[in-house]
Amino acid sequence: MKPLRVYDFAEELGLKHNDITPILEKAGIPAKSPSSKITNEQIDVVIKALGLPAYKPKTPATDSDFIESNGTERQIIEQAFEETIKNLFSVFFDSYTIAKGDPAGEQQAEATFRSGILHARHIRDRALAIIP
């Protein structure tokens, strides 16, 4: 199994990355951000600390499974866009919270969020324009 981002691992467990970070820190495992990657051994440490059964990663679906379960290509693009916006907001929330009280940090978080939103819209619009 390949390393996972802390955010993705937490999401698969139905948790937030903030629920996992203290466990990693206590075990001496560096996880500076939600996008930090953790190894299988580090995943096992978290699973044991949470008292959960052995971790089984989600099985990736095939393209046809994805289209059948999620509708048309346009719907899939819109769903992916919505997920992207959720992820951008999560990163913005974390960045803004960390920068609380620091006007330069808050402005940087806002600018990065705004840029991410504009980029996501552009990519969504391009994808919608090129499908038949």
> Nearest CA to 80 among 28, 49, 126?
126
Could you report the per-residue pLDDT of 2-50, keeping only the tens digit for each?
Answer: 788 888 888 888 888 888 888 888 888 888 788 888 888 888 888 888 8
Q: How many CB atoms lie within 10 A of CB 86?
A: 10
Alpha-carbon distance of 9 to 40, in angstroms, equals: 11
Q: Both 69 and 38 in a single domain?
A: no
Q: Which of 10-14, 58-62, 125-129: highest mean pLDDT? A: 125-129
d(CA 11, CA 2) in angstroms, rounded, equals 16
Which residue has 């978290």 as its token pair? 46
**What does the pLDDT read at residue 107?**
94
Q: Are 64 and 39 in contact (CB under 8 A)?
A: no
pTM here is: 0.46
73 and 123 share one domain: yes
Least confident of 16-20, 88-92, 110-114, 123-127: 16-20
Q: How many domains does the chain have?
A: 2
DSSP state of 103: H
Residue 94 confidence (pLDDT) above 60:
yes
In total, the chain counts a number of residues equal to: 132
Overall average pLDDT of the 63-77 stretch: 67
Confidence of residue 97 (pLDDT cuts 50, 70, 90): very high
Record the tokens describing residue 60, joined without a space.
């990736």
**pLDDT value of residue 49:** 83
Indicate the DSSP class of residue 51: T
Q: Is residue 56 part of a domain?
A: no
Q: What is the average pLDDT score of the chain? A: 84
Q: Which domain holds residue 19?
A: 4-50
Same domain, 73 and 98: yes
Report which of 64, 73, 33, 40 is spatially closest to residue 54, judged by C-alpha positions: 40
Res 73: pLDDT: 85
